[in-house]
Structure 1
């Protein structure tokens, strides 16, 4: 897979919202339990994320959706990096790295000054990816706390 076949765009269609839900349900249910806060976000990402001023980025390899990530507005200039997923068939090919960089760049266009995230020690590859992208570990008190029982790693990036 070459990066030239990848496109990253904002979610605009119901089909893309369905893919966002499916991609996230796959990894969440594999490692954790889908929580009520997940359900609210995944059932209507336009209302939960886009309408309040955030965005969902969709990654395609050719015409096939292979990944996604959400930028959830927490306050005027603070966003949560959330619901990042890459389909299992293409993990390990650098798509996550490109996706997180696209999300960081896009957050800047949304006038974000800070990104934060909650992750889990059960996802060491994800934590390493966030570290390599420039996120630093912080205590949960230092970020607007994500509403997930599974989060035990908290990170922040000042843009």
Structure 2
């Protein structure tokens, strides 16, 4: 397998179309885009950054191939959300690099805990979250339609 140089960079408004496309692709493959998904993907500055969150991007040869966001829940808790890797680039540990980078960002932002919501049908993602150190915790009812698992990691 050829070695790909993956650059993990901070999101800029120029990345919005890639952020939306990468996430829309996987969500529509396994589920459907809920109104809140469309709103967050179209307006990440308003829904992520305005509340003290961040987004990072994975690029290969200046092409966006992956992304993940940290959404602030409160002063010490962030939600890891909107993680996506272009299907053509899956299997190259890009999700792992994004996961490690976003947890490092959480540390730099003085997070004490990072949570995430997912679905068990996304088995490779769940496995990666476990390897990153996340553990399953009780899921609140009715928060997200497609979520059937909540995980967290203490930073």
TM-score, normalisation: structure 1? 0.93
1:136–1:93 CA distance, 2 compared to 1 (3 A): same
Q: Does 1:2 align with 2:3?
A: yes
Deviations 1:101-125 (A, max 9, x none): 0000011111111000000011000
Moved >4 Å (runs of 4+): none
Q: In the TM superposition, what are the counterparts of 1:106-125 in structure 2 within 5 Å?
A: 106-125=105-124
Structure 1 segments unaligned to the other structure (5+ residues):
none
Q: 1:2 offset after TM fit, Å?
A: 2.9
Deviation per residue, 1:34-80 (Å, 9 max, x gap): 11111111110011001210000011012111000000000011000
Structure 2: which 5+ runs fail to align?
none
1:32-43 to 2 correspondences below 5 Å: 32-43=31-42
Please say if residues 69 and 82 of structure 1, whose CA atoms lie closer than 8 Å, have aligned partners that are also in contact: yes
Does the aligned pair in 2 maintain the 1:8–1:58 contact within 8 Å? yes
Equivalenced residue count is 154
Question: For the structure 1 residues 91 and 146, does the alpha-carbon distance in structure 2 shift closer, same or farther, using more than 3 Å as the test?
Answer: farther
RMSD over aligned Cα atoms: 1.4
Alpha-carbon shift at residue 127 of structure 1 (Å): 0.4
> Counterparts of 1:119-138 in structure 2 under 5 Å?
119-138=118-137
3-state DSSP of counterpart to 1:122:
coil
Distance in 1 of aligned mates of 2:8 and 2:15: 12
Report the CA distance between 1:12 and its aligned residue. 1.2
Q: Which residue of 1 aligns with 2:21?
A: 22
3-state SS of 1:70 partner: strand
Report what 1:152 is aligned to: 148
| Cα distance in 1 for residues equivalent to 2:84 and 2:3 | 19
Does the residue aligned with 1:83 lie in a helix, a strand or coil?
Answer: strand
1:21 touches 1:43 (CA, 8 Å); kept in 2?
Answer: yes
